[in-house]
Amino acid sequence: MRIFKLAATLLPGLFAVILAFSLPGAAEIFFEERFDDGWEHSWVQSDWKRSDGLAGNWRHTAGKWHGDPDDKGIQTYPDSRYFAISAQFPVLNTKGKTLVIQYSVKHEQKIECGGGYIKLLSGYMNQKRFSGDTPYSIMFGPDICGTQTKKIHTILQYKSQNYPIRKEVPCETDQLTHVYTLIIRPDATYSILVDNRERDSGSLYTDWDMLPPKRIKDPNAKKPADWEDKEYLVDPDDKKPEGYDSIPAEIPDPDSTKPDNWDEDEHGVWKVPNVPNPAYRGPWKPKKIKNPNYKGKWSPWADNPEFEDDPDLYVFPNLKYIGIELWQVKSGTLFDNILVCDDPEYARSVAEATWGANKDLEKEAFDESEKRRQEQEEVQTFASS
């Protein structure tokens, strides 16, 4: 099901669409794909690497284990191939809009090295030539390779250059379905969610290098000699009380008495045990008072003269395609429920209605599949011994 409409709710039928159009603040859906029957009419498979015999294909399936056999996606096959497929939607300018990108992915093959990310692309693209060299505006999703790379890529294009997120945001590595969500807001903040839970968040200003930093260390800055950076000073009028140091930390226990059965020949001379002295207050420390000349913490940081704010830093003015482009040594990654909209709550409800409704059944199916696999391995091991 590929949807291009300006509003949506979870209610079924035409009434839901009409109602959504009339409700203020309803979700604006730019692209939605559930991969129902006939999905291939909306997608274009690239010829990239096909002449070399290295182009992969896509299987329409719910996978080996699932919660609903009718909830199908598209799965990579065979191994050691390049995969590239894309779909077009009406041109989207995100100025003044929240951008939400969401999809589900499942690595049934217990992936060792390969991606599971998607791309949003701008302007005109020859979809039959879509490849790893095709410029893109946003790349988002998990990438796994060996023990070192297990992260969520979030790469944004700014002024024709790609900028990866500066953080290491971990991805899921098991063989079950997971939902990945990227939210970019007009205030230049973002959130990355996995399975409807926030995995990371922050600002486009600080977590990407698209703009120079607002503040930099001034190499010529020196703290003035008269700069007072101590907020509190010792009170010169506070004097230690007379006899303070003579107060012992412990005193003999006034309630202690020698036991009646105490035998000095056997136990030695009885001594009254010590207990903490309630009058003891520790080493004396003079009181502190507010420094009247305090100027605050001195800092060598200064405004960066090279910084120039861009209030449209979050804007992607010409989004037009969504694509999956990746190389996989071991195939079997299944993509489903792709959504591009402006409403995080709608995206959350879609995730719950798809992944959330099926996750427990999928886990049961996976556990049963693993049980059968292990039993078969034991039989084979016994037969060969």
DSSP state, residue 112: S
Q: Which helix (H) or strand (E) holds 16?
A: helix 13-22
Q: Which long-range contacts (CB under 8 A, 24 or more apart) does 159-162 make?
A: 159/210, 160/135, 162/136
CA 46 – CA 28 distance, rounded (Å)? 29
Q: Tell whether residue 321 is among the known ligand binding residues.
A: no
Q: 359 among the known binding-site residues?
A: no
Q: Is 103 annotated as belonging to a binding site?
A: no
Q: Tell whether residue 205 is among the known ligand binding residues.
A: no
What is d(CA 143, CA 77) in angstroms, rounded to the nearest whole number? Answer: 17
Please report, as a single letter, which amino acid is at residue 329.
V
CA distance 121 to 323: 8
d(CA 13, CA 141): 32
Give the integer Cα–Cα distance in Å for 343 and 176.
26
Residue 88: CA count within 13 A, CB half-sphere: 12
**Residue 70: other Cβ atoms inside 10 A:** 8
Closest CA to 170 of 133, 141, 146: 141
Element holding 365 (H helix, E strand): helix 357-384
Q: Which two tokens stand for residue 272?
A: 């009254």
In the structure encoding, which two tokens stand for residue 96, read together?
């003044």
Q: Please count the other Cβ atoms lying within 10 Å of the Cβ belonging to residue 302.
A: 12
Dihedrals phi, psi of 157, to nearest 5 degrees = -95, 135
Q: Are 141 and 187 in contact (CB under 8 A)?
A: no
- Residue 143 labelled as part of a binding site: yes
Q: What is the DSSP letter of 204?
A: H
Residue 107, strand partner residues: 333
Secondary structure (3-state) at 287? coil
Q: Under a CB-based contact definition with an 8 Å cutoff, are residues 325 and 131 in contact?
A: yes
- Residues at the annotated binding site? 117, 119, 136, 143, 325
Q: Which positions make up the binding site for an alpha-D-glucoside?
A: 117, 119, 136, 143, 325
